[in-house]
Every structure is written in C-alpha cells, then in structure tokens.
Amino acid sequence: MKALSMKQPVPELILNKKKTIETRTWKSDFRGEFLIHASNNFMDSMIEKFKLEKERLVTGAIVGKAEITGLKVYNTLEEFNKDLDKHLLAEPKKLPTYGYILENIEKLQNPIKIKGKLNFFEVNLDEKKE
C-alpha cells in the first residue's frame, strides 16, 4: 500500500479531521487509499498555532490512513487562501501548489514504526506487523 510521510502535527490534524486537504509542491495522479506516516520532524509553528503538546505526538510511524479523492491546483494566493480552513497553512511554499482532498480518514489504534521516505512510497503492512 502507498504511504506518505508528513511532519507532525500534520498527521495529527488530519486524523482529527481538522485538516482535509494536504498540500504539496508536486503533482501526482494517485487517487485512492494511502497510509499516513508521521515523520521524525516537526512543524513547530503549527504545533504552537494549534496548542499541541509536542511530546505527545507520535513520530516515525504509520499512524492512520485516508483516501485521496481529488486534487485542487492553487495557481494564486487568492485560490490558496479560500481553502485556508481545509489545508490550515498560512502560505504556500510555492505556486502552483497542489491540494490533495482527503476523505475516509481513520486513525490506527497501534502505530506501526517504520522509516519514512520522500513522495509516495510502498509499505507492506503484513511484513511490519509483529
């Protein structure tokens, strides 16, 4: 199954259904279910903004899954800002920015420790379960 690594607190915000669009600077044609991987890195500004406790955030593990059901292309800041309540980012890294629409979000009860990678990467959960 495909997985996508994200800095905390992005996975936490997705799993709590506060963030329903994941933005990237690259475009993918992938649609469907994928695993959410929480990387070992943090976005401190978002942790502060959402008043989260850094030490309580799971890192270095698959923490949930979601389904990408569509893609929005943000060519202008105006377009990007219209969806602020969905992607939760103050500004894009660059334009165009691609917004992956997330639905059917589920949190794993027991995170699965694995090392993340860039872009979408393949994970065989049967091999990872102990």
Report whether pLDDT(22) > 90: yes
Q: What local confidence, expressed as pLDDT, does residue 127 receive? A: 67
For 110, which DSSP code? E
pLDDT in tens, 27-86: 999 999 999 999 999 999 999 999 999 999 999 999 999 999 999 999 999 999 999 999
Report whether pLDDT(128) > 80: no
Per DSSP, helices labelled H in 1-130 are: 10-15, 44-49, 77-82, 84-87, 125-128
Q: What local confidence, expressed as pLDDT, does residue 89 receive? A: 93
Could you tell me what percent of the chain has a pLDDT over 70? 97
Domains of the chain (ranges; CATH) run: 2-117 (2.30.130.30)
Q: For 46, list phi and psi in degrees, rounded to 5.
A: -75, -35
